[in-house]
Amino acid sequence: MPQGTCPECKAAIHVDEDADKGNIIECDECGAILRLVGLDPIELDLESDYDDEEDEDYDNDDDDNRDWYS
């Protein structure tokens, strides 16, 4: 079974053979929510890193709209 490393606590994370990029995995050691971003080699990132980026994009769009109506 392939494995990656938790970016939060450095624990070994076992990944299913049929896993796909974008799958969400929870670290059994620290409880971090991880996103599978690479398959060969296995690469995991914190899911919260992606949530922040989406929020920033949304905020930027709102700022642009406020200027239009001012």
Please give the tally of structural domains in the chain. 1
What is the mean pLDDT of the segment spanning 34-54?
Answer: 87
**With DSSP H G I counted as helix, E B as strand and the rest as coil, what are the percentages for the chain, rounded to 5?**
35, 30, 35
Question: Structure pTM?
Answer: 0.69
DSSP state of 4: E
Contacts 24+ apart (CB under 8 A), 13-18: 13/42, 13/44, 15/42
- pLDDT class of 1 with cuts at 50, 70, 90: confident
Q: Is residue 66's pLDDT more than 60?
A: no
Per-residue model confidence (pLDDT) at position 10: 98
CA–CA separation, 51 and 62 (whole Å): 17
**Residue pLDDT, tens place only, 6-35:** 999 999 999 999 999 999 999 999 999 999
CATH number at residue 59: 2.20.28.160
The answer to whether residues 17 and 36 touch, using CB atoms and an 8 Å cutoff, is no
Please give the residue range of the domain that contains residue 9.
3-69
